[in-house]
Each structure stands twice: as structure tokens, then as C-alpha cells.
Structure 1
Amino acid sequence: MNAPTQHPPAVRTTCAYCGVGCGVLAKPDGRGGAAITGDPEHPANFGRLCSKGSALGETLALDTRLLHPMRRGADSAMARTSWDDALDTVANGFADVIAKHGPDSVAFYLSGQLLTEDYYVANKLMKGFVGSANVDTNSRLCMASSVAGHRRAFGSDTVPGTYADLDQADLIVLVGSNAAWCHPVLYQRIIANKRARGATIVVIDPRRTASVEDDDLHLPVAPGMDTVLFSGLLVHLADTLALDDAYLEAHTTGLTEALVRAREIAPDIAATAAMTGVDAADIARFFALFRATERVVTCYSQGVNQSAQGTDKVNAIINCHLSTGRIGRPGMGPFSLTGQPNAMGGREVGGLANQLAAHMGFDAEAIDRVGRFWRAPNMARREGLKAVQLFEAIDRGEIKALWIMATNPAVSLPRADVVQEALRKLDLLVISENVISNDTVAAGAHVLLPAAAWGEKDGTVTNSERRISRQRAFLPLPGEAKPDWWSVAQVAQRMGFGDAFAYHSAAQVFREHAALSAFENDGRRDFDIGALADLSDEAFNALDPVQWPARAGKPATDTRFFADGHFFTPDGRARLIAPAMPALHEAPSPAFPLLLNTGRVRDQWHTMTRSGLSPRLGAHLPEPFVELHPDDAAAAGLKDGGFARITTTHGACILKVIVSAGQRRGSLFAPIHWSGETAATARVGALVAPVTDPFSGQPEAKATPAAIARVDYALRGFVLSRQPLTLSGDDWWARVAVRNGAGLLIASDEPASAWRGRAATLFGDGVELAEYLDAPRQSFRAAAFENGRLIGCLFVGPAEATPTWDAVKTLFEADALPDRQRRAVLSGRSTDGVADTGPIVCACFGVGLTSIRDAIESAAAISVDDIGRHLRAGTNCGSCLPELRKIVAGAKVGETV
């Protein structure tokens, strides 16, 4: 009798996506994949995962991976090389540039996708040994304004609260945060509080997002006017005698200046309403709620941070909490929700150009302290260039060599087209990546270094509540991939800094990082994990999630900060900050009458190099789109489902149109995720102005003046193929992951007969091609078979009768088709009774709109809870619950008409 197959046990690790930092159980299947579930023992999520986390198992294939070092040859072609050759090329290249042009002629650009250990070694090399602070991170694009606001108010970059405050608050204010889509596990925690304890939710956002439930108060604040709203709140609190005078006297300074400025900005509710564009009665209700509710948590995210006045917005929020003493105690405080899995860890090690490691700045004492700890021969003496300025310096030729790790700036940065061209000017462009191709790689890398990916990495990340968790490897390193800390250490050794970079494990790096946090600290700095500095390798491997501070020799206590009223300023008092008068960096004009707001969607992540591999995630919103109000759509002659060209002074995109009454008049919303790799003309970063906050250096991504115009295509359709396809010419296309192949949604002005000529080219020679052409109706369909297997489909038809691909995609995803279904492929319908589920609503369980409506119409489900019981939709991460409620409400309206 054969012995039963032994499968490896589940490995406890941490999700690769947002700053919630959910614990994951990964159970390898022995074939390079893994079953992914939430870790019920992790305190960030208690077993819940969002749609993206649940689909991590679909992103582990090696098809798109960079598996070997590559170097550009004399013929400009990239070719495989050895690690020794690649590392020598990087080390010698950086050394040569430094010798010729000085240390400020080189730079690193890092990422919140890196582990803390990777971040630490890169910062140590650049700031301590190269001698330049030109090392910044894509976290500059998401949370730098929070850092600057914290440091101005608290004297340190300290997030005061914990996730437990969301369970205990009686009023939760979401500012510029679509938590239902961007932090869904936390959002469900907030909703649980609302259901169980009656907590009130206020959502402050120009858009009526999925985070707004019917009974929530929504304040559709005008772009850039958050400072006005919270200045008005501060004035209201003062005028109604709601300030905590004793707290202010004992623990703060700056009230007079902050209040004088607030009165200049928003002297009363009427003025606040006029400037914010929010109904005065709703503002009065919000102010009354804040005044009367002691336990208030104000959660804010990219809608606050990604602004030319982001730091002032952060401080305007913090002012209201400091002035009422609502900080540091259970259920209250300002709370920054970070975007990336290790944005916080990057802050801990000095990942930003204006920081040193362990939350230290560039004052003389800190420079000396870090230099002595590292035994660094060439400490950077001043702040480096922040992200936008860094790439502008590359464009001017001032930066000659750049090492990019785990990020895609040719998509994500403002003026992305200019960034891509600037990269081509470098004498040396080194990219550490785990994908073989993206828009940044396409800019012309000289050296590509294969990096470990999630599932292979080993180290730590820190989430939004300062909780350090382990990312553990549960898959072997594929090909010649290596951890990023190893690559940096190897280069450092080749540059002559071997003794300081003789690391043999992530645990060793972590111990040094923890020791630095405690070095000459004695409670004077917020970040201290000295209790972890002596962990053995075994203890590091077994480390449970832990919040900082974790001071050596000190008992573990409540990890909220500032309960004792002591802050990290020289006098121990918090600062209330007087913000500048708010104004848009550039107002709309007749040429550009709208404001472009960029952001994220529920089921994709950053530039889709990981999430874009999941068929499940690609089914919800498969195409790049622009959302606008019905009035603006009518003025531009646009219709829902059509196409439009969005133009700014920096670039243009063509996107699918979604008309929504939840969108603010005069504003456009477009997601950031699509790139040149995944769509024909949808790099939204190319449209964004390179305007930055004067304190944080964070770019404005929420208010770029824009114009919109209708674009008509004669035909629309789709292509399915077993092999990746790319269309050329003037066709519009968007790549979508499908099982067992690849899909393109397309739009074109070429006639159906021309597509007949292209079909054979798309699917290759030697295939059996079944075709249907109706030239008068401009309809063409083709199905390609090889040895009886369906290997490709091409459907195009008139735009007003676009062929849908749901049933065909189901047939295509099968490994083999019986003859009856083979003959029916061109009909676009299944012949075996398989239902067309319609557009996906619940990505966790693949539940489509048609299935939901069928359940409602059959009375099998008449409520959201019924849908959960009948179809499972909404029972995992809950991020589809707002959409389900709208569907149910729509059905009920239809019944009463």
C-alpha cells in the first residue's frame, strides 16, 4: 500500500498588500502553489482576509518572474549573466560615478513592498557609507504628509492609537479614506462596532464611495478643503466651550496661533459651508457629533496625505484632538491608515530622504549617534532629494546612477511619461525586481537583479498600528532569486565596506536594527524595540506579532502613546499648528474645467504586477475607467460604458466611462493601477501634476485640472489566448487575467473584415480556425483550436452591441471541450446549462451580478444576509457589502414602482 502524500504544514506569514498587516496561513501544495487563509490568531485581522489577500494563491506562478540576473550588452540587448558579474557591474558602476561626480550623484529609490531588513541595509549603505541621503521610497507618495504632521505636532513620527480603538470609539470619522475598498478588514471592524455598539460613522470625501452606508453622514468636501473643515471644527469647539483647557495648559503649546488662523480660514459654519461646498446643516451635525462624543477616532488616508497641503490637513485634524484631549486613551485619537504593507517599517529604518534610521532626523546629535553605532566612515550630513525632486534631478542629469527596488515609478510617479524618459538618461540604472517586465524595466535598465517575492521572503513588516509581524517563506527561492538585503550587502562588500555588511540572515539584520532603536535612547525617542535586539535565530523565526515600543527591561503595557500627556518635543508638549490658508495649487480653467482625483479600486493593487495575475480579482472592474457625475457626463456628451479622453497639461489617457451620482460635480476619478503593460493608454500617473507639499514633499494626486472629451470606437470585443498577446496600432485594449490564458478587452475603428485578417496572425500558424463574419452588421467571431483544444477566441461587434465574454471565458478556461460545445463556441453561449454569472460582485467567492439578481427575483434571497447565506457573497472580507446593499435596494425600488 502506498503511503499517503505528505503535505507541508501551514506557515504563518503576513499579507503582501495594504498596511492593515493581516496574518495569513499559507499551506504549500507541493507544486509551487499554496492554499491561503486568514490567520485566526493574528491580532490585526483575527482570520479575516480581503479579496486581494484571499486571492494571493493565484499570484504565485513563475510565468512573469525574473529568475536570473541580466545585464545590458554592447548591442543594448538584455542577456542573462552571473550574480558575480551583475554585482561587480553594480558596485563598480556606483563607485565610478561617485569618484567622478561625488556621492550626491547616485541614489536609491525603495518601496513599501520591501521588508524592514531590506530597507535597513539599503539605508545603511547609502546614508552611512556612500555618504548621501538620496534614498527615498514610494511611501513618499502615500504617507509622507502623515510623517511630517506627526513630527510637527508630537516631535516624532508616532501613530498614537491602535486598532482596538476602532472597537471602542463612539464616533469614527473617515477622512479621505475609502476604507471599505482600501482597508476592508479594518472597515468591517468599524462596521461591527457600529452594529454592536451603535458607533456613528462620518465619511468626509468628495466622492460617495463604498464606505458610505445609507445611515452614515457623508460630507462631500470640495477638493483641497479639508483644512477648512477642521479649522471650522476647531473654531466651533472653542466657541462652544468644548476645549479641554486643563489638558491644553498642561500638555500643549500653540493654541492661540492655531485658533487665530482657524478663525481666519473658517470663522463660522456658514463660511465653512461656503468654502467646502458642504451643506451647512450637515456641517453643523458633524461639529455637534464631534463636540458631544468623547471617544472619537479620526482615520485619514490618501485623500488627506496626497495633497499639496497634506501636512497642514494632518495637523488641522490633530489640532482638534489635542484641543479636546482626545488622544492616547481608548477609543480616541487621530489615526493614519497607511497604504503599503511595510510603509511603517520603512519609516522605522529611515527609508525617507529626510530621516535617519530609528526615527532620527538630520540633527548633529543624531548624525553622530547613528554614525558611531554603524561605525560609518562617511555619514550623510543633510537631507537628500525627495521622490519627485529626485526624478527631476535625474531628468536634469544631476543623478547619474540609480538603484530601484520593488517599485514601478514609471507608472506611479507624477508626470510618469517624463519619469520614463528621464530613466533613459542614466549612466547606470539598476533594478531589483521579481517581474521580468514592467514600465520601469522597459525604460532601459542596465542591470536586472532577481528579487525574492512574497512567499519566498523572510523578515518583518510593520503595520499601521505599529505591529511588527513576520513574513515567512513557505516556497523555495526560484531560479537564482535572492533577498534584497543580500543583494545590497553583496554590493556593499564589493565597494569596500565588507565588515559592516557581513550579514548571513534576516535575523541578524533585524537584531542590529533593534539594537540601534535602543542605542542611547532611554525613552527619549518613540521608536524602541530594544527588547527584541537579542533574539536568537530560533526566537526570530518564532516571533509572534508585537507592537512597539518594546523597550528592554520594561514590562509590556498599553501600547497607545501619549496617555501620560508627554510628547517627544524638547519641552515634552504637543504643538498645535497654524496651517496656511488653503488653496488649490492650480484652479480649473476654461481649457481644463474639471479636477482629476486619482485613487484605488477594491480588487487591484498599485501597478498590478501581482494582483493583475489573479483571474478572480480581474473580474470585478476589468477595464481602466474614469468616473464622473451625470451632469458633467451630459455636458461632455458622454454615456455610461462609452469612452473618453482625459487630458491635462502633462498627458492624456483614454478610459472607459462610468457615470455615477456619487461623484462630485466638477471632478473626475480615475484609478492608478493600469500601466503600459496592462492597457493601451491608461497610465494615469502621466496626467498628474508634479506639485508637492512644502513640508512633506508628497505630491498632489487629488486635484489636477483636466478636460474630458468623448471618444467613439466603431467596434468592441475581446480576445482570449493561451499565450500573452499585445495589440498594436490605434486599438484600445486592456489586459485581464483569465484562467489558463490571457484576455484582452478591445475597442477599435478597424472593420470586422480587417479583424478577420488579423485572426490568423493572433493565434499563429497551424491552428484550426472556425470563423463567422457578418460584414453588413460589422460582426466577426473566430475560435482557434489545436489538437481539439480551444486555444483562442476573437469576438468583435458594433459598439452598441458589444459581445460579452462571460460564457465564452467559461468555455475557454476548461481544459477540453466536447464536440457539442466546440461547435457552439461562436454562438457565445454555453450548451451544458452553465449559467452566465454576469459581472463579478464578490471577488472572494466569484459571485456575479446575474446570480445575485436571479436569487433576488426568485425570492431565494431578499436581503443582504440572505444573499450571504444563499451564495456566500459578502461573508468573507465584506468589501462587496456596500454593492450588495445597493443591488438589494434597487430590486426593492423596482418592486414598488
Structure 2
Amino acid sequence: MTQQPICTTCPYCGTGCGVLASIDGAVGLKVKGDPDHPANFGRLCSKGSALGETIIPDGRLHTPQINGQPASWDAALDMVADAFSTTIAKHGPDSVAFYVSGQLLTEDYYVANKLMKGYIGSANIDTNSRLCMASTVAGQKRAFGTDTVPGTYEDLELADLVVLTGSNLAWCHPVLYQRIVAAKAARPSMKVVVIDPRRTATCDLADMHLALKPGTDVALFNHLLNQINDLGAVDAQFVSAHVSGFADALDVASATDGSVTGLTDSELAAFAALWIGTEKTVTVFSQGINQSDHGADKVNAILNCHLATGRIGKPGCGPFSVTGQPNAMGGREVGGLANMLAAHLDIENATHRDAVQTFWSSPTMAKHQGLKAVDMFQAISEGKIKALWVMCTNPVVSLPDADAVKSAIAGCDFVAVSDLSATTDTAVLADVVLPATGWGEKDGTVTNSDRTISRQRALMSPTGQSRHDWEIISDVARRMGYEGFDYETPAQIFREHAQLSGVAANQGKDFDISGLAGISDADFEALQPTRWPVRANGAKSDRFFADGGFFTPTKRANMLPVLQPAPKEQPAALPYRLNTGRIRDQWHTMTRTALAPRLNQHYGEPFLELHPEDALALGLRPADLALVESLYGTTILRVLVTDRVAPGSVFAPIHWTGETSSAGRVSVLVPPSTDPTSGQPDSKAAPVAIKPYAAEWYGFAACETDFTPSTEYWAKARSTTGWRVELADKSAPDDWQEYARALFGINDAQISSVTDPARNIARVALHKSGKLIAALYAASTPVSVSRNFASELIGTDGHGALAGQAGANQPDPGATVCACFNVGVNTILSAIESDKLMSVDAIGQALSAGTNCGSCKPELAAILNSALSRAAAE
């Protein structure tokens, strides 16, 4: 029996896509895009499309744990409350901290912020949003007086020019990318510029790709500002009426040498001419701008250009920050950052503090900003913070200098973790682990990148004894003796949040949803996507600042003089610059996406993009393993040789953890350097050294059950039939059959094998009851075996297992290209040849590949072009 679809919101990026989800007794959870949601109009990316595969019981924590053992809720909550109360009594409120997450719902976030700032009396609550959008918050507050996103998603389609800077939108916000693709197809005169040192999938759409030197964004936009002035494009009326600081900003910009970007004079001139000559211009920016030790200045360099031209808050033009997490915006609205108060109020403003304390009727109020994420964990390592509560995030994997973070948490006097699992890299270090509800069970609201509030609705009952985060926090608060936490529903918390926004509006702030302060439980349940502000008088507005009205004391925007920092020389011992980021089908630390087999097929292990010149100099070939070292840690990554990166620059994804790989936590390489204004870490410029990992043997294994190898290198992923694992080590076993039994933990299976000791080649198949249950392939070089074919043989009779390749009558789809429809490269090549396909659209019509989220279209185009080139040469 299938339930009626429930309208909810995707839990991944800040796009905030609407999802229609229903429980089907035959197939489990069915999901599709909500055609009526204004963020996505029915589109979903590969991750959103696979949400149904992630709602499984595997790995879920069912009961609280104390010191790794099951415990009652009363015992666990009493322990948390007592630890925090005792620590505060002995060492003061700043001796405790919360580290929370942009994946919490607004109601969870609100209660956590209220407890820490208004009752404990410390601002030591920060969020993993510090790692992705803090520089935007700082830049927008400096320019606008508040953390305000001026525009809307519709502006992406109304623009005549979309500039994407520091944003691989095709992979990181695929639905927004597809909205631009559709707009450009409907209006071919629309132009797209991509500014990125790396050639990404997003460049497939670009009319102009500016591959500037890493970290020179300020110089580029300062050059643009100077050209805006020289070519007479300043909106003098707007600047005169609504902007301060123009002359100082221009003085600095005019002294900036655009050549430091590494772009040619013609490239700089073409970009300036296009930007200046196109009134309807939207500049979209994301992590490539934010994740920098001068990210706030990068943001202000962009804002300066829009303010100087008055291109802000009007249909089809303005600066636009796209957020990385589903509720990064909601967390900013409730004051989830250590330097903010709820409702965009300022923690260091006594009037604002008094207003919030009065509203909460709270016993105290934090009087100064707390420790930002990197500083917080440094304080933990120094013993200044003695009790820590981590909620819905995995800092041992995601924070820079991650090994030091791990040591800090391990040495902290008391650590509580609220999460879905007790096996994350962070949860295994905790004294108490509290089972929290996850997507599909949670109930509340999130806010996306264009200020649209959407409902996340429960589809099913909580797993085991798991509870909502707001319930857990409220219960601890009551146990600590605090009143004001008698919440019974998320609607009750939302109403309080909305009421407080009215207090902020009276203080001259932008965030105002006081028009929803009287929402009933029934209306909250039925709440449709709603963009703020929603004022008490019913007034709404889609955009900010077209006619001024900034939130500074003068009501004028501030243009800031921002300097391009001098280039940093790479240390001789660490000659490569590491850029980190996301890949198409994975999300953050993979606690959800790794559960979906099809999301593990595109890239199944951590990797390093390396330019061919660098690979040659280092003696590294495609598929070799590289040992990557910085001053802070070491990883082992699979080599992907590509000219997508420039010589001297390398790229690695952030997603792999200690659960999914032996040495793939890339954040161990990243230094803990931060932007002095925003506190955001620089995750794009880690100096590293690279050398071959001297493996004696490489391996690939597939098994119906999970296992963790003892090899120095391993990386594992779910497959449709069980698990697949990449292996390597510096010493080879003497007996491959015995090694295979030990590797898989299987002693009662029949074994067949083919070995060649002279070449260190071995292939071992394990059968039970006539079915293949595991297989191991080993060689002295990276193993040549069809991974998907070998994995799909598990659970069958295993015919062809020792060959590791499909026979003539066994089609091998090859490596997955389209995760939405699970279409492999061999299937695509076969269709191109047999059906004479001549376009990406034709591939989509034949195989469906690329017809959902579209993020694989650049790869489809590359496969098609290569196939057509080979055919023409024959």
C-alpha cells in the first residue's frame, strides 16, 4: 500500500528543493521533485533522487549510549545536564560549548541558541556553517548592515549575464545550474561567465571561463571596479543617495594590478566589457570565495561592483550567495553563529542583548561573541573548554587540521554527541551519544539561499528511541533548572521565533517573519514555501535595496577598500597548492549519501586531481596512489591525471572519513588559518608535498557483507549487492587464499583462485551454496578489473568472476556516469555507436542519461566528442 505523497524539503544543499515522498510497501520510500516548489519546480539532483535509498536502518543508533554501552534516556540526559551544570559552576559559562550544524532544522537551532546564549550565558555556540558561508555573512554585514541576501532565484533566469565565481554550480547546486541552463536555452543571448582556477563541469555552460590564479579574486573585482569608473558606468545617483565609501574603495581598486590574476589583458578587458555592458547581471558566489583567509574581502570586492553600478535588488541583477547546507540560512536567522544574536541582532549591541533577554525572560545573556569553530577546538585542546556538545555534524572529518581536532575532542573532559549513528569519526570519541531523528523523521522548517522558508515534514516514525534535537536540548535545559523550554511541538518554537523577529524588526533589522507569529498548528502543518520578510502588517517584498534602505546606522551601504593580498610563495618542501571541495554525488562526510549504492559508483574512493606535467615530474601514472603530506597530516589518494587543474595546483574532495577509508580525510592536510573578520577557514590553499605511495600490491574486493581491511590503504563503498573495496599495502601475503578468508572473515566458503606469484597477481573467488559471496583481485600495479561487473556478480553463480571482465554474452555497463539512472560509460559508448547518436540530447532520449539533474551532461559531452573523434579517425 502506498501513502499519499508528503511535501517536504531535500536535506542536502542550500537550494532547498521541494520533494514529494511516499512510503510504498513494495519498494520502500519513493521520492520525486515537487513540481509546485518555487526552488526546483520538480527537478532533483542525483543525491535528492536517491533519498529513498538512504532511509535504511543500517548504522542507525537506536538507544542512547554512555561510554559505548546502551543506556536509558534518563541516565544519558542526566549525565549531560550534570556535566554541563557542574562545569559551569566550577569554571564559568565560557568553559562549555555547543558545535551545531546547518543540517539542524530552524526549531532545533533556535532552542540550542536560546539555551547557550540566554540561559548558560555564553556565546560559545558555533556551527559548521562557519566552514562555508561565514565570509558572506561578514561581508554582507559590513556592506549592508545585516546579513541580507538581496535577490531571488528568479533573478538567475531574468539576468542577461550570470557570473559564477568560486562556484561549481553544476555539481554543488545542480538544480540551480539546470535553471540557468534552461534559461540560456530559451534565451541564447544570455551569457554565462565562470571564474575558477579549475575547469569544472560548470564550465560546459560558460561563454567565458576565466582561469585566474588561485586566490586573486579581489584583484579581479578591484580591476572591474576601476573599469566601471573609467568607462563611466558608475550609477552616480544611486551612489550619491545610498552609498558611502565609494572614493576610498576606488582609490584602492585603482592601485590594484589586474595582471596578478594571471589573466591576459584581453581576458580582463573582455570580462569588464561584458559585465559593464550588461545591466541585468547576477554575480553568484560560493565556497571558492568564502573559504579563504581573506574571504570577507573577496565578498566585499564583489559587492562593491554591484553597489557602484546600482545593480542590486532589481529583477535580474545583484550579488547572490548560494549556501552550502539545507539550513545554513535558518541557522544564521536564529543566531547559530558565535558572533550573532537571534533574528540578525548583534551580540555586542547592549540594546539588542536587552531586547532578546527581555523577550526570553532569561536569567542572563552572553555579553560578547563566543569562540568561532577553529578557535573553539583550539580552546578545547588547551583545556579552556571542558564540556562540549556536538549536534548533527562530524568535525573530526570536516574541520581543518582534523587530526588536532580529533585529539582535542578525545582529551576533552566531557563530550556529548547527538547524531543518527554512534560510529562517526566524532561520535566514537564521545562520553554520551544521543540518538537523534534524521530526514524523513524530523518535523520543522528550513530556509534556503533565497530566503524561502520550507517545511520538512515527517514521513515515518522515529527510528528506535531517537528523538528530535529540539526535544533533547529542551530536556537537558529543564534538567539544568532552566524555565522557558516547555515546548511540545515545533510549531510552538516557530511561533516564538517569529515573534522575536518582530522585536528585531523594531530594532531596524531585516529579518522579519512576525506576520507568521500567530500561525496555528494546523496552518504550520500546511505552511507553503514562504520567502521572508513576512511583516506583521502582511507586507512582503521579494528583493532588498533597489531603492536603498540599507540597515546600517546611516541607512547607506558601505563600499569597502579591499586589498589583494600579496601572493604567498609555496614552501620549497611543500610545493603544491591543494584545493578541496565537493563531488557530484556525495554530501559532506557521507553519513547519508554513502548509504545509496548508486551514489558511490561515479567516484568510489578519495582521489587527487593532478596535472599531467606534475604527474610526469612526480613519477605518478593514472590510478597510482599518492602520498600527500602537509605540516598537519598525511593522506593516501588515488591519482587522477587531468588538465582540469593547472600545474602546481591539485584538487581533492572532502567527503571520505575514517569509516569509509584508511587515509582519505583530506581536512587533515588543511591548515587552521582563518579569515580575521569572518573566522572562516581557508580550505582552498593548503601547501602540500606529493610522492608516490610505494605499494607492493594493489587490490579490489567485493563482498556481500561489510568488512574493514587491515591494509595501509583501503576505501570502501556500498554496491547494489553488498560492498566494494579498493586496497593497497607495502607487503604482500604469502598465501592469497588464506589472506582472502581473513580479509572477508569467511572460513566456511569454497575457494577457487588463479595466481601468478612471479607477477604478484591473484584472483580469488569465494562461493557458498553455489553463490559467489566474495571476490578478491590483486596485482603489483593498480588492478585492471571491471568494478561494476565484478560487484554485480555477488549473489549470482559467479560465472566469470575470476576473469574480472564481462564475457561476450555478458554486457558490462562500465563505470557509472549518470547516477540518477545508473547508466555506465560502456552502455553510453555502445548506444552512440549502434544508434548513431550525435548529441547529448540524443543520448538522453535513448538512455535517459542526463535528463534528470543534468549534472552529468558535461561528462556525456566529453564521451560523445571522444567517440565521434575516434570514429572520424578510423
TM-score clears 0.5: yes
Q: Counterpart of 2:108 in structure 1: which amino acid?
A: D
Give the 5 Å matches for 1:621-770. 621-730=603-712, 732-751=713-732, 753-761=734-742, 762-770=744-752
Quick check: 766-775 or 445-454, which moved more? 766-775
Cα distance in 1, alignment partners of residues 768 and 566 from structure 2 = 62
SS of residue paired to 1:104: helix
- Aligned residue type for 1:113: Q
Partner of 1:162: 152
Question: Residue 511 of structure 1 aligns with which residue?
Answer: 495
* Deviation readout 1:695-752 (Å, 9 max, x if unpaired): 100000111111111224233222222221111142x111111124222111234336
- In structure 1, how many angstroms separate the alpha carbons of the residues matched to 2:142 and 2:504? 23
Alignment of 1:173-192 (within 5 A): 173-192=163-182
Q: Distance in 1 between matches of 2:85 and 2:4?
A: 46
Alpha-carbon distance in 1 for matches of 2:56, 2:782? 38
CA-CA distance at 1:31 after TM superposition = 7.2
| In structure 2, C-alpha distance between the alignment counterparts of 1:192 and 1:628, rounded to whole Å | 33
The 2-side partners of 1:537 and 1:297 are apart by 38
Equivalent position of 2:431 in the other structure: 446
Deviations 1:382-426 (A, max 9, x none): 100000000000010100000000000001001000000010111
Contact map agreement 2:815 2:826 (CA 8 A) in 1 = yes
Q: Deviations over 1:206-264 (max 9, x none)?
A: 10110002752111111111000000000011011111111100110000110011112
**CA apart distance, 1:487:** 0.2
The CA distance in 2 between the partners of 1:648 and 1:513, in whole Å, is: 44
Alignment of 1:9-24 (within 5 A): 9-24=4-19
1:399 maps to which of 362, 385, 402 = 385
Return the alpha-carbon distance in structure 1 between the equivalents of residues 593 and 650 of structure 2.
24
Given candidates 264, 284, 293, the residue that maps to 2:278 is 293
| Secondary structure in 2 matching 1:211 | helix
Deviation track 1:172-225 (CA, whole Å, cap 9, x = no partner) reads 000000000000000011111211112101100010110002752111111111
Q: Tell me how far apart the structure 2 counterparts of residues 633 and 797 of structure 1 sit (CA, whole Å).
A: 22
CA distance in 1, matches of 2:106, 2:373: 19
How big is the shift at 1:169?
0.2
CA drift of 1:615 comes to 0.8
Partners of 1:104 and 1:69 lie apart in 2 by: 27
- Aligned-pair CA distance for 1:316: 0.2
Partner of residue 82 from structure 2, selected from 89, 92, 98: 92
User: In structure 2, what is the equivalent of residue 45 of structure 1?
Assistant: 40
2:341 counterpart residue number: 356
Structure 1 Cα separation of the partners of residues 52 and 321 of structure 2:
29
Structure 1 equivalent of residue 451 of structure 2: 466
Letter matched to residue 709 of structure 2: L
Paired with 2:612 and 2:711, the residues of 1 have a C-alpha distance of 32
**What CA distance in whole angstroms lies between the structure 2 residues aligned with 1:740 and 1:315?**
50
How far apart are residue 800 of structure 1 and its match? 5.4
Determine the C-alpha separation between the residues in 1 that align with 2:251 and 2:781.
58
Q: CA deviation at 1:476?
A: 1.0
Residue number in structure 2 paired with 1:790: 772
Which runs of 4 or more aligned residues in structure 1 lie more than 6 Å from their structure 2 counterparts after TM superposition? none
The secondary structure found in structure 2 opposite 1:26 is strand
Matched, 1:322 2:312: no
Q: 1:135 aligned to 2:125?
A: yes
Distance, in Å, in 1 between the alignment partners of 2:415 and 2:25 is: 37
Alignment of 1:443-592 (within 5 A): 444-497=429-482, 499-519=483-503, 521-522=505-506, 524-556=508-540, 558-584=541-567, 586-592=568-574
Q: Which secondary structure state, in structure 2, belongs to the residue aligned with residue 452 of structure 1?
A: coil
Query: Among 395, 412, 418, which residue is 2:404 paired with?
Result: 418
What's the CA shift string for 1:34-72, capped at 9, x where partnerless? 011111111100000000000111111111111110001
Distance 2:809 2:362 in 1: 70
What is the Cα deviation at residue 653 of structure 1? Answer: 0.9
Number of equivalences: 870
CA distance in 2, matches of 1:666, 1:201: 27
**Corresponding position: 1:200 with 2:191:** yes
Query: Identity percentage over the alignment?
Result: 52
Q: Which residue of 2 aligns with 1:3?
A: none
Q: Which residue of 2 aligns with 1:75?
A: none
Residue 594, structure 1, aligned to residue 594, structure 2: no
Whole-Å separation in 2 of the counterparts to 1:520 and 1:433: 32
Cα distance in 2 for partners of 1:463, 1:548 equals 11
Q: Does 1:124 align with 2:105?
A: no
Q: What amino acid maps onto 1:402 in structure 2?
A: L
Q: CA deviation at 1:769?
A: 2.5
Q: Is the 8 A contact 2:212 2:262 kept in 1?
A: yes
Distance in 1, Cα, partners of 2:616 & 2:17: 43
Tell me how far apart the structure 1 counterparts of residues 422 and 769 of structure 2 sit (CA, whole Å). Answer: 31
Name the stretch that deviates more: 799-808 or 481-490.
799-808
CA change 1:472–1:244 in 2 (3 A) is same
Q: Secondary structure at the match of 1:538?
A: helix
Change (3 A) 1:254 1:215: closer
Matched, 1:251 2:242: yes
Cα distance, 1:830–1:636 mapped onto 2, change above 3 Å: closer
Q: Show the counterpart of 1:858.
A: 834
SS at 1:511's partner residue?
Answer: helix
Specify the code of the residue in structure 2 equivalent to 1:610.
R
Whole-Å separation in 1 of the counterparts to 2:751 and 2:616: 43
**Structure 1, 564-573 or 343-352: larger mean CA deviation:** 564-573
TM-score by length of structure 2 reads 0.98
SS in 1 for 2:85: helix
Indicate if the aligned counterparts of 1:721 and 1:763 stay in contact, CA closer than 8 A.
no
Contact 2:162 2:193 in 1 (8 A): yes
Within the candidate set 51, 57, 60, 1:62 is matched to 57
Residue 240 of structure 1 aligns with an amino acid whose one-letter code is: L
After superposing the two structures, state which structure 1 stretch, 769-778 or 219-228, moved more: 769-778
1:142-157 map, 5 Å: 142-157=132-147
Unaligned 5+ segments in structure 1 are 1-5, 73-77
Instruction: Check the 8 A contact 1:752/1:780 in 2, yes or no.
Output: no
Structure 2 SS opposite 1:321: helix
State the secondary structure of the residue aligned to 2:616: helix
Contact 1:646 1:652 in 2 (8 A): yes
- Take 1:804 and 1:849, find their aligned partners in 2: how far apart are those partners? 12
2:219 to 228, 247, 267: 228
| Shift in CA distance, 837/752, structure 1 to aligned 2, threshold 3 Å | farther
Contact 2:504-2:512 at 8 Å conserved across structures: no
1:809 and 2:809 equivalent? no
1:889 is matched with which residue? 865
Picking from 102, 105, 109, the partner of 2:99 is 109
Q: RMSD of aligned C-alpha atoms?
A: 1.5
Question: What residue is the counterpart of 1:237 in the other structure?
Answer: 228
Match of residue 870 from structure 1: 846
Within 2, Cα distance between the matches of 1:219 and 1:96? 56
| CA pair 832-213 structure 1, distance change in 2 beyond 3 A | closer
Check 1:826–1:333 CA distance in 2 against 1; reply closer, same or farther (3 A cut): same
Whole-Å separation in 1 of the counterparts to 2:703 and 2:409:
33
1:745-797 deviation line (CA, Å, top 9, x unaligned) = 11234336443221122232222223332323322222223333332222212
* Equivalent pair of 2:181/2:205 in contact (CA under 8 Å): no
Contact 1:161 1:465 in 2 (8 A): yes
The answer for unaligned runs of 5 or more in structure 2 is none
Superposed displacement of residue 594, structure 1: 1.4
